[in-house]
Structure 1
Amino acid sequence: MKPAIAVVSFVVCTFMISLGLKAQHSFSLKNDQVELVVNNKGELITLRNAGAGTNYASGKPIWRLYFDEGEIKDNEVWAKDNAPVITATDDQILIKYDKIRYKNRLIAIGLELKVKLSSANYLIFSSKITNNEDNMVVRELQYPLVADCNLPADYDLITTEIGGQKYSDPKERIRIANKAIGGPYMAPSNIFLQMESFYPHGPAANCFTLAGEKSGLYFGSHDPSFEDTGHGYRLYGSIKDGFNKLELGIYKYPNCLPGATWENNANVIAVYQGSWRRAADLYRNWANSWWKHQTPPLWVQKMKGWQRIIMRHQYGETLFTYEDLGTRVKKVGESVGLNTVLTHGWFNTGHDNMYPDYVSDPKQGGDKNLKKQIAAFQKDGGAVLLYYNGKLIDKASEFYKSGLGKEVSIKDNTGSEVTEAYKFRGPGTFTGTYNSRTFVVADARQPIWQKELIKMADQAVELGAKSVFYDQLGMADKSNWDLSKKFPVPSMSTIADKGLALKMIHEHLDKKNPDIALGTEHLYDATAQYVDYIHSLYGAANPNNFIDWFRYTFPEIILSDREIRDDTDIERRVNHAILKGLRNDVEIYRARALIDEAPNYQQYLGKINQLKNRFEDLLLIGKYTDQEHFEMNNPVVQARSFVRGDKMAIVVTQSELESASAAIHVADNYRYMENGSVGDVKISGSGNRINVVLGKNGITVLMFQVKK
């Protein structure tokens, strides 16, 4: 939970509903924070942040609808072609269409749109579709839309892609996305430019924010079913004017069949005052209604990171033997303070081969020797994280050949199996170019596959591993289509299905031994709640990355960095990880080598992990609290706080200048106790005011304690 003052900005408000003086022409919802006005055409005239004085709206329609009619798909219904009946009650506006007009036809599809100003000070946009047509399916509803959006010049776009991305120019970001291969070629870019973003196929949470330093505009879908949702970023206009009209919105996919009714009450917009954190608070306050995260085992909390290795590769090369686990791998890890290893390719066929037939290598002594070497690595507190893939089924595997693979695999809109191909390169070019492995994708809802997942967990436990790790089980997959209806319809809650599978596995492991941990790859809120740690998908120190969003919103999630694969730019990236409270994923040369082959990385990570050891109660076990509890006067310098009990650590670093200084003022009830540093750092001051001077890539941990 965030401090009470952060919640108050959303909860405390003077609530009133007012109809315009000419009720037949405009309808409004208003309080001391937000004002919304629609006209009698259902167009959004006003969306105003009362405190900031900003009106984001420009009098454009607030919805768009698409239906399929046999072979003709993506028929676009425009709000401007339809005349609604609008009524208002004490707390909401109702915009109703008994039928909708498409071109010159009147179609028996009813549409009801409601806007309500909640007591929590955000706008709820509800919708209902009634399909009375025999030969149409309503595929998509884009609502609410804020078209030709008036954004202040200082607003950034903050998405939740892979945990958070931040772009200083939203329009330019959309243009850049359309320059990518496959962008305009596949889309009607003569009409609009679009940056595609679909939760949970990229965004780690179902929201996005347009944020200035003191105010912002929040879009979210507070949908506990975790159904697929489009985050709408479009530019309308033309080539001549540079496509300069920004449209933002939320897209839902009803797949409303003939004779069916579909409803949604999840979409929200909030205008707020304060930093982007106020929008993150809004999402977390909603997430608390379903969040089920358990406290991980203590050894996981203390885990500074892991070595990630591929023992045998896809093309047959053995990079590490079983004996290497308890000897060389263990020794090199200890040289940098890591006693954890994530082991890929420990099975006889090698990494990304023959899933889910996981058989230890008989030439290396099979299960008996593997179990022995796992125990040797784990002696004195080490941990082996044993790799499995949570979704892929090799078409050459015995499981697939038995017929079970085809039975549980995801099917596309023609009934064909959805396949994925993975091909790693050896020293040559043939294997990586032509000789790939082909997999089908398992539907996590299928009992047969769930039984297989449990079988993997039991095998890991039997081999003595301290954790079972499921690659790709934390991510959403392509939809499994149901072809039994008049129109084919896809499953729309694959991330919820994956979450329930992880929940089932966690409960199974807890019964065996609650100290055995569960991990997965990919960061999504719906699945993160059911695991003990997450292996990130991309490096958090990359340009535009803003992992700050997820770390602030869900600080209890233990998350790794990624993509430090060589020996370059080490200090900045390692410092970034400790600053944001990320665990180190050490995957030298794409998990083919150990960190002793990257001497700069080895030396520096060893120093940083000494800091983590010294302050583990705060940096590892404590709660990441972003920039709470302190103020700092230099934006070039980065600092983040961690709190546990009556103690607080502030990590301070900078990577831009040869030297930079900052004055740090903490809350009055704290007093400075000690520090630990790496690099060029000078500390002065006392009490609750400390001055720091940092050379480039210098880093320090300042420890404070509440006054007795």
Structure 2
Amino acid sequence: MYKLSNEQITAAFDHKGRLTALVKSGGENIIAAPAEDSFQLVFCKGGDWENTAFGRDQDFEASEDGESLSFRCKALRTKRTGADIGVTLRIALKEDQLIYTAEIENRDEVLITDFTYPITGEVAKLGAEKAPALLWPNQCGAMVSNIGKYLDHLPPTWEAHPYSLSITYPGGHAAGGSMQWMALTDGENTLSFSGRDEMFYASELRVTGGKAHHETASLMLCRLPFAQKGEIWQSAPVVLTLYAGDWHRAAREYRAWAETWRPEHKKPRWIEDMQGYFLVINKQQFGAEMWPYDQIPKLYELAQAHGFDTLGLFGWYDSGHDNQYPDLKVSESMGGAEALRENIRKVQERGGHVTLYHQGHLMEVTSEYYKNGGCANESVSRWGTPYYEAYNKAHKSRFLSHFTNKVFSNACPSSPAWQELMEEKTEFISGFGADGVLFDQIGGMYPYPCFNKEHPHALGKPSLSMSQGRRKLLGRLQKKSKEIGSEFCFMTEHVTDLYSAYADCLHGMFLSPFAQGERREALEGGEPMMTNFPELFRYCFPKTYVTVRNPAPYMTRRVANFCFLYGLKLEMEVRYEADKQDLLADKWPEYRKYGKAVSDLRRRYWQLLGRGEFRDTDPLDIPSPGLLAKAFVNGSQLAAALWNDSGEPISLEGFDAPGWTFEKAAALTGELSDMPKEIAPEEIMVILYNKKEVD
């Protein structure tokens, strides 16, 4: 038994380097059972790509050095073979943090592909009686209440048992890792598991159910080092922290680390102030031309009627949406280039803004570009074939739906030729007078390892081709957009800490309202469930602007309230002929009126609700679990956005912002000079405060 201990934390490890005990001051051991392995490593030897070395099967030499431990394997063995690979696991204790690092020395004719480390071991409770929830960085965030029980009830996987959740980082589709950290929390205690990889290797966050005990969870991180013979690979730290308190501390620590590498840029003011993104497909993949260019002003009228101020035109090109990328050409049958420019200008003269879509990730395999040499820029798998993706935008036709998938190859963002092409396409879009460009998918998607050796991948590694290539691509696009004009915007899709640093606004993914009462049930730790938890990313990166994902030609009350609460940009999507007819017929007038009213309410207090910093529940006192409330702070003013997410009136007695003085309240019906006594079911409200002066 080996131990690291100070006044805050005691951690114990066995001779295989497995964590057997983790105890905070005054608490009990939270490790119900150690993990089977302290690490797992996979290497390719000859033609066998899955030689797995399990920590349990290795011989270790352990050493202690004050506040750190080391466990060293001189060589590795697997079930079928062995390899001259040295692995050293290190754990250091700093205050209440265990800092895990590792060194891999590859002395063999093998390629090391996977390295999973650390693995926490099985956790059932953190100290409170309530079973912990998992905070999961899927896009803007998710919460899984009673995670141990949730994992026990998942359907069988290819591994049969234990069951697990996993997401790739950075990015994925539609489930994708937005950050390198996750946490278990019971509201009173938190176990934070936080990566600190500034190279952003393709990796996987994973949470696995217990083998020794039911209703437990083990946290782990797998990175893809792609270490070759003669290489000594150093893993970036993973910080494991057990402390009394909620998850906000861990989020602040992650944000502080991210600020050391996230670039900053000035965003267009109109993007900061954008209320809503009215997404329209002018022409569909199957050829239907729904919104010719002379209808663009009409679209803006419809957008305004719903409380929106920005048109996002997709499928504005002759080939139709999700077709012939990257060969986009203006459509003569929809009006031609001059009509496109003229009608964009009409929207701008009325105070609106227009962005045009371009694909930044996919190449359609029948496009002229792809067939005439563009394929040299694609990401290549280890089989030597492209990573194919297929998208089908059929609506009513069963033939189209079942038998006409459009097939695309993925561009490798490390390719200089692709980066240059995307810069050219930015200029191309600006030539139509648009206010900006949305390059789809490059704000996320899977971190595909590219094996094309002609591409200049960072450190020559396939597992850095996507993350480091995207950083270069996104940086170039941000720079190019501001060379066109300081108010020319660059948008993209998906949510990640890495890629969002370069964009002005994100077209969100996996971001929709939970069912009525679901948040309360999840927070109270009842039946296990996964629910959206956008505060996870919003609290870490409050100045990253994100639209809600709303693939419908209307905006329900819940979508509008959800955006209001979290400070998200409104969004609705008009994609098909039926959507057009329903919109023109004003099929959902109550939704339209309500959305406009919510937008107007936000505009009145935009200095706080839009330009203020999202603080989540800090520093609010929220007496009722059915009341959802979030704070926005701008200088000496605070706005609390409230939403009664229940079917009953909720008393506001006891609701407060300590350190702040009540100024006034406002609902959709108008302002209130006194603090309201209650909030009605499904009602939203904003309460304004001023900072108390210190005597």
Same fold, TM-score > 0.5, yes or no? yes
Give the corresponding residue for 1:585: 571
Cα shift at 1:450:
1.0
CA distance in 1, matches of 2:453, 2:575: 48
Q: Aligned letter for 1:504?
A: R
Alignment of 1:51-200 (within 5 A): 52-56=27-31, 58-60=33-35, 61-103=37-79, 107-118=83-94, 121-134=96-109, 136-152=110-126, 153-177=130-154, 179=155, 184=157, 187-189=158-160, 191-200=161-170
- SS of 1:196's equivalent in the other structure is strand
Contact 2:106 2:232 in 1 (8 A): yes
Inter-CA distance 318–175: structure 2 relative to 1 (3 Å threshold):
farther
Q: Aligned letter for 2:403?
A: Y
Q: Does residue 33 in structure 1 map to residue 33 in structure 2? A: no
Cα shift at 1:638:
0.8
Give the corresponding residue for 2:525: none
Give the corresponding residue for 1:459: 428
- SS of 2:474's equivalent in the other structure is helix
Give the corresponding residue for 1:383: 353
1:632-673 Cα shifts (integer Å, max 9, x gaps) = 211111111111122211111112122111235544553222
1:134-191 Cα shifts (integer Å, max 9, x gaps) = 3x332222211122334344310110011111011212333454x2xxx62xx232x5
Cα shift at 1:362:
1.8
1:294-323 Cα shifts (integer Å, max 9, x gaps) = 242211111111111000111110111101
Alignment of 1:450-599 (within 5 A): 450-482=419-451, 490-542=462-514, 544-563=531-550, 565=552, 570-588=556-574, 592-593=579-580, 594=583, 596-599=586-589
Inter-CA distance 348–682: structure 2 relative to 1 (3 Å threshold):
closer
Give the corresponding residue for 1:10: none
Q: Which runs of 5+ in 2 are unaligned?
A: 455-459, 516-530
Give the corresponding residue for 1:12: none
Contact 1:205 1:525 in 2 (8 A): yes
Name the structure, 1 or 2, with higher relative contact order (CA <8 Å, separation 6+): 2
Give the corresponding residue for 1:232: 206
CA distance in 1, matches of 2:285, 2:34: 57
CA distance in 1, matches of 2:656, 2:327: 55
Q: Aligned letter for 2:661?
A: R
Q: TM-score, normalised by structure 1?
A: 0.88
Q: TM-score, normalised by structure 2?
A: 0.90
Give the corresponding residue for 2:606: 616
Give the corresponding residue for 1:264: 235
1:397-433 Cα shifts (integer Å, max 9, x gaps) = 2211221x21101111111122211111143221222
CA distance in 2, matches of 1:387, 1:673: 43
Cα shift at 1:213:
1.0
CA distance in 2, matches of 1:35, 1:270: 11
Match of 2:223 among 252, 274, 285: 252
Contact 1:44 1:57 in 2 (8 A): no
Alignment of 1:265-664 (within 5 A): 265-326=236-297, 328-403=298-373, 405-482=374-451, 490-542=462-514, 544-563=531-550, 565=552, 570-588=556-574, 592-593=579-580, 594=583, 596-664=586-654
CA distance in 1, matches of 2:264, 2:26: 36
Inter-CA distance 480–245: structure 2 relative to 1 (3 Å threshold):
closer
Contact 1:219 1:250 in 2 (8 A): no
Q: Aligned letter for 1:379?
A: E
Q: Aligned letter for 1:494?
A: M
Inter-CA distance 172–71: structure 2 relative to 1 (3 Å threshold):
farther
Contact 1:443 1:480 in 2 (8 A): no
- SS of 1:141's equivalent in the other structure is strand
Q: Does residue 675 in structure 1 map to residue 650 in structure 2? A: no
- SS of 1:362's equivalent in the other structure is coil
CA distance in 1, matches of 2:229, 2:477: 38
- SS of 1:352's equivalent in the other structure is coil
1:554-604 Cα shifts (integer Å, max 9, x gaps) = 101111111261658x22221111100011111146694348343222111
1:523-566 Cα shifts (integer Å, max 9, x gaps) = 01101011111010123313600011011111011111112616
- SS of 1:296's equivalent in the other structure is coil
Inter-CA distance 106–345: structure 2 relative to 1 (3 Å threshold):
closer
Equivalenced residue count is: 661
Cα shift at 1:269:
0.9
Inter-CA distance 382–705: structure 2 relative to 1 (3 Å threshold):
same
Cα shift at 1:196:
2.3
- SS of 1:197's equivalent in the other structure is strand
Q: Which runs of 5+ in 1 are unaligned?
A: 1-25
Q: Does residue 697 in structure 1 map to residue 688 in structure 2? A: no
Cα shift at 1:381:
2.0
Inter-CA distance 248–654: structure 2 relative to 1 (3 Å threshold):
same
CA distance in 2, matches of 1:705, 1:237: 53
Cα shift at 1:244:
5.2
Cα shift at 1:109:
1.5
- SS of 1:498's equivalent in the other structure is helix
Give the corresponding residue for 1:21: none
Contact 1:475 1:498 in 2 (8 A): no
Provide the alpha-carbon RMSD of the alignment: 2.5
CA distance in 2, matches of 1:362, 1:564: 28
Contact 1:315 1:426 in 2 (8 A): no
Q: Aligned letter for 2:566?
A: K
- SS of 1:356's equivalent in the other structure is coil
Q: Aligned letter for 2:541?
A: F
CA distance in 1, matches of 2:632, 2:211: 47
Contact 2:386 2:409 in 1 (8 A): yes
Cα shift at 1:59:
4.3
Of stretches 270-279 and 588-597 in structure 1, the one that deviates more from structure 2 is 588-597
Give the corresponding residue for 1:7: none
CA distance in 2, matches of 1:564, 1:702: 31
1:266-291 Cα shifts (integer Å, max 9, x gaps) = 22211122111112112112111112
Cα shift at 1:371:
0.5
Contact 1:293 1:529 in 2 (8 A): yes
Inter-CA distance 671–111: structure 2 relative to 1 (3 Å threshold):
same
- SS of 1:587's equivalent in the other structure is strand
Q: Aligned letter for 1:551?
A: R
Contact 2:621 2:658 in 1 (8 A): no
Q: Aligned letter for 2:188?
A: K
CA distance in 1, matches of 2:676, 2:611: 26
